[in-house]
């Protein structure tokens, strides 16, 4: 049966723990509502340029800890003791990463990408399918502060001096951060491509909150 409305998609709630194993990714269904616990890292244009364009390796400690990359900017601050706090994150549109994704998957080991606005079907086929990866999209707008409530602490930060707060690679410990929506599977049950179409939303997924925007330099 053709899917014409979001209500036609069976939306199960799934809780993933990082690093996310391949079997957990394979078990995800189109339209699943996902929450993530463990560790993830922010990585956007500045980080991608370091790894893809300049050939710098993703720090070994990050690669060993998690395979989840969130395309976002953090609202970070420095505490009196010199430690960092991240109280909100603002997702950024994933289409801007373009053809860097293939090299990124190969060099970072990432298997779960979180972002907003989605990608084209061609992008999914060329970038995600060959690497057994999955794309999770944020839902609604103004959820940065809500996602921030799931951040327990900053585990590490890399390239802060070079890239600045918004573009640096922040490693975050999270507990049930979400909701995110499975927008694409790398393959469906018959080995084909299974994108989630851009459907009109007929029921709310999460309450909206005032937007917290963080501009990058």
DSSP-assigned states of every residue in 30-73: TT-EEEEEEEEEE--HHHHIIIIIS-PPPPHHHHHH--EEE-EE
Q: What confidence score (pLDDT) does residue 98 get?
A: 80
Are 96 and 120 contacting, i.e. CB atoms less than 8 angstroms apart? Answer: no
Q: What is the pTM of this model?
A: 0.83
The lowest-confidence range among 12-16, 96-100, 111-115 is: 96-100
Res 56: pLDDT: 97
Domain 9-189 has CATH 3.20.130.10: yes
Cα gap 217→200, rounded to integer Å? 34
Average pLDDT (46-51) is 97
Taking CA atoms, 139 is separated from 6, 16, 59, 146, 159, in Å, by 13, 17, 30, 12, 29
Output the pLDDT for position 122. 81
**Mean pLDDT computed over 56-85:** 95
Please name the helix (run of DSSP H) or strand (run of DSSP E) that holds residue 122, with its range, or none: helix 121-123
Burial of 159 (0-12, 13-18, 19+ CB in 10 A): middle
123 pLDDT above the threshold of 90: no
Q: Residue 196 — pLDDT band, cuts 50, 70, 90? A: low
pLDDT at residue 213 greater than cutoff 80? no
Stretch 203-209: mean pLDDT? 37
pLDDT at 187 over 60: no
What is the rounded average pLDDT for all residues in the chain? Answer: 84
């Amino acid at each position: 049966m053709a899917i014409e409305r979001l209500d036609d998609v069976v939306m199960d709630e799934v809780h993933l723990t990082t690093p996310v194993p391949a079997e957990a990714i394979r078990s995800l269904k189109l339209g699943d509502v996902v929450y993530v616990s463990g560790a993830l890292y922010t990585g956007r244009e500045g980080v991608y340029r370091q790894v893809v364009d300049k050939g710098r390796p993703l720090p070994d400690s990050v690669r060993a800890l998690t395979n989840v990359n969130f395309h976002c900017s953090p609202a970070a601050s420095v505490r009196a003791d010199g430690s960092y706090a991240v109280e909100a994150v603002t997702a950024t549109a994933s289409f801007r990463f373009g053809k860097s994704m293939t090299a990124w998957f190969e060099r970072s080991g990432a298997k779960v990408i979180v972002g907003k606005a989605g990608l084209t079907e061609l992008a999914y086929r060329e970038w995600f399918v060959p690497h057994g990866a999955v794309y999770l999209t944020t839902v609604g707008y103004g959820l940065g502060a809500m996602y921030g409530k799931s951040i327990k602490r900053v585990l590490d930060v890399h390239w802060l001096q070079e890239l600045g707060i918004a573009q640096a690679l922040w490693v975050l410990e999270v507990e049930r951060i979400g909701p995110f929506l499975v927008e694409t599977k790398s393959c469906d049950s018959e080995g084909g491509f299974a994108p989630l179409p851009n459907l009109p939303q007929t029921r709310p997924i999460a309450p909206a909150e005032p937007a917290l925007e963080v501009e990058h330099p």
